Chain A
């Protein structure tokens, strides 16, 4: 009976030894050994290279994004440029001049001379900061008074986003000058001038007043010259009283319309950047980060595109390699099974 330990012992004890002739042949092969070239032992360390290449590529991507971001942060960001363009376009539609302190020369629409008109204007100007809001509000009040106008209402708020809202009335004859000079208090964000013609209604009032005066005169003459019965006299006197009341109302209306046509109303709003949709230019650091992120996004897009292109080929190659490996393994098993 033979057990495994005995078998193992026998197998090891009878370990095959190479024949002398074979040993001599191998020695001949070994004797051909030559000095290796200096680069002969060099093997490209694929794994080590990958360990270095991957972080190096990531670092390069971040560094290039940072450098490009820094270089491109001198100007406004792309998003800010787009946003600013929209604001500028809107401002340009409202007024031809957009710079701080620039006057809207000739842009204000003026009333027609010789006609009674109601002129109202709404202005929004932007000043650099909250302190400038207070100064602009004070300048507006001074300007109003210097033009012979008066303040209807004023509201000034200070703080991070200071603003002021003023409603002033200035003589119509000075309204163009007022608009131009108020616009010069800051950068025009919006401007609206509305003119309503009052001449027709004023003419109608005056025509009606003239008619009433004629009627009053005729009734007064009749009452003085004719001998009237008591009832007729009472009717005419009553009618005269009504007409005189109407005439007073008409005179008040004419007076009010003339007053409306003499003074224009201007509503001025003073804002700081960030308020009223005004776009503040971002800080340099923010712009740098924005630009760097843009570059990184583009790098990621390119990397993804390359991956999408290369991935199918890599998968096919991997499948072919695995298939070949499996085939060879099966073939080896078959060969060694005999």
Chain B
């Protein structure tokens, strides 16, 4: 297992800001999360737009006492992405029956400016679930409890999944160093 030291969680502001301010502040987080989840920048952009459309419609129902705007937006983003994955899986099954399977999820694209090629490739080798926990816990710096609530699993499961993902990343990176 890997010792993972992460920053303390951000403080929770219970005042309700405007949607525009929230969208401006959290756009990068939502986009980053969806990019890690889909590993496709074009798809991530589409899903981000869809997420904010949905969030805009539901904004009146957002209750700051029940969670942060970031957790709320990420939950909508996750649902949007999973819906897309389901639709994509159905489409692929239909195309497999027609022997013409092709997935836009295989499209190329980077995870972020400044990432080494080795890390890019290592991230691609992870499953969507592993990339998701890396995005939430490492990149977006959500705490274990918040991540667990978002993913619908226990904090222990989050920790285990993150350790496994980082171990796989390290292993991939090590292999890449050896090859290089």
Could you tell me which A residues sit within 8 Å of B by CB distance? 1-5, 7-8, 10-19, 21-23, 25-27, 29-33, 36-37, 40-41, 43, 329, 331-333, 335-338
Contacts and interface: CB of A to CB of B under 8 A. Distances in A.
B10 interface: no
Contacts of A30: 19-20, 23-24, 52, 56
A2 B49 contact: no
Interface string B122-134: 0000011100101
Given A14-B115, A16-B112, A338-B128, A31 B86 contact: no
26 contacts: A2-B173, A4-B4, A7-B119, A7-B166, A10-B115, A11-B115, A11-B134, A14-B111, A14-B114, A14-B119, A16-B28, A16-B31, A16-B112, A18-B48, A19-B41, A27-B23, A30-B19, A30-B20, A30-B52, A36-B60, A40-B60, A43-B61, A335-B85, A335-B89, A335-B128, A337-B128
Contacts of A21: 45
A132 B141 CA distance: 93
A11 B152 CA distance: 24
Contact of B139 (A15, A19, A27, A36): A15
Nearest to B33: A16
A92 B38 CA distance: 95
B36 to A, nearest CB: 8
B53 interface: yes
B23 A17 contact: no
Contacts of A332: 82, 152
B32 interface: yes
B169 A338 contact: no
A16 to B, nearest CB: 4
Contacts of A31: 20
Given A29-B49, A29-B52, A7 B28 contact: no
A17 B110 CA distance: 11
A333 B35 CA distance: 18
Listed from nearest, the 9 A-B pairs whose CB atoms lie closest are: A336-B129, A30-B20, A16-B32, A14-B112, A16-B112, A18-B31, A14-B114, A40-B60, A14-B115
A11 to B, nearest CB: 5
Contacts of A43: 61, 63
A16 B138 CA distance: 12
Contacts of B23: 26-27, 29-30
Nearest to A333: B129
Nearest to B2: A4
Interface residues of B toward A: which range? Answer: 35 or more
Nearest to B44: A16
B59 to A, nearest CB: 8
B20 A33 contact: yes
Nearest to B37: A336
Nearest to A33: B19
Interface centre among A27, A31, A32, A332 (most CB of B within 10 A): A332
Contacts of B45: 18-19, 21-22
Contacts of A36: 60
Contact of A14 (B48, B89, B113, B127): B113
B177 interface: yes
Contacts of A13: 114
B11 interface: no
Nearest to B21: A30
Interface centre among B4, B129, B152 (most CB of A within 10 A): B129
B98 interface: no
B8 to A, nearest CB: 14
Nearest to A2: B173
B100 interface: no
Contact of B5 (A5, A18, A27): A5
Nearest to B30: A18
B27 interface: yes
B13 interface: no
Interface centre among B3, B45, B138 (most CB of A within 10 A): B138
Nearest to B128: A336
Interface string B40-78: 010001001100110010011101000000000000000
B174 A22 contact: no
B5 A15 contact: no
Nearest to B36: A16
B163 to A, nearest CB: 9
A261 to B, nearest CB: 102
B27 A4 contact: no
